[in-house]
């Protein structure tokens, strides 16, 4: 049920993108204490700027059901570091947004979670 959507202007091979997505999937699973069986990731390549430049940048959009109130504080540093290790994008070029979704608004396998 956690969904990690990455949007970036960094030119990576498909293998490098997969490595980053798999790293984020595992991190979110571990840090949220949720089975990785339910984690979904996606990568969108886009024309982007940050601070007025086109230097490599990334937006990570994380949605989950019952996201703990302290989750953003717990996850931000760890996700930023794992992104840096897999892509070399520095933390000051990464935005991470968090969305706590109600179980009734999340569908899977023909039904909702709530």
pLDDT digits (tens, 9 = 90+) for 65-104: 999 999 999 999 999 999 999 999 999 999 999 999 999 9
**Tokens 């990690």 correspond to what residue?**
4
Q: Does domain 3-107 have CATH number 3.40.50.10170?
A: no
Compute the chain's Rg from CA coordinates. Answer: 14
What local confidence, expressed as pLDDT, does residue 30 receive?
95
Contact by Cβ (8 Å): 54, 79: no
Strands 107-108 and 111-112: antiparallel
Per-residue pLDDT band for 9 (boundaries 50, 70, 90) equals very high
Residue 66 pairs in a beta bridge with: none
Provide the whole-model pTM. Answer: 0.93
What local confidence, expressed as pLDDT, does residue 103 receive?
94
Per-residue pLDDT band for 36 (boundaries 50, 70, 90) equals very high
Per-residue pLDDT band for 1 (boundaries 50, 70, 90) equals confident
CA gap 114, 23 in Å, rounded:
29
CA gap 35, 28 in Å, rounded:
9
Per-residue pLDDT band for 54 (boundaries 50, 70, 90) equals very high
Arithmetic mean of pLDDT, 22-30:
97
């Amino acid at each position: 049920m956690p969904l990690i959507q990455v949007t970036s202007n960094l030119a990576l091979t498909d293998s490098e993108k997969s490595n980053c997505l798999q790293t984020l999937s595992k991190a979110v699973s571990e840090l949220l204490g949720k089975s990785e069986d339910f984690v979904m990731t996606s990568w969108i390549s886009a024309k982007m700027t940050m601070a007025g430049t086109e230097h490599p940048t990334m937006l990570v959009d994380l949605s989950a059901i019952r996201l703990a109130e302290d989750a953003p504080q717990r996850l931000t540093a760890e996700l930023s570091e794992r992104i840096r290790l897999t892509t070399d994008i520095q933390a000051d070029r990464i935005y991470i947004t968090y969305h706590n979704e109600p179980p009734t608004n999340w569908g899977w396998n023909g039904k909702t979670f709530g």
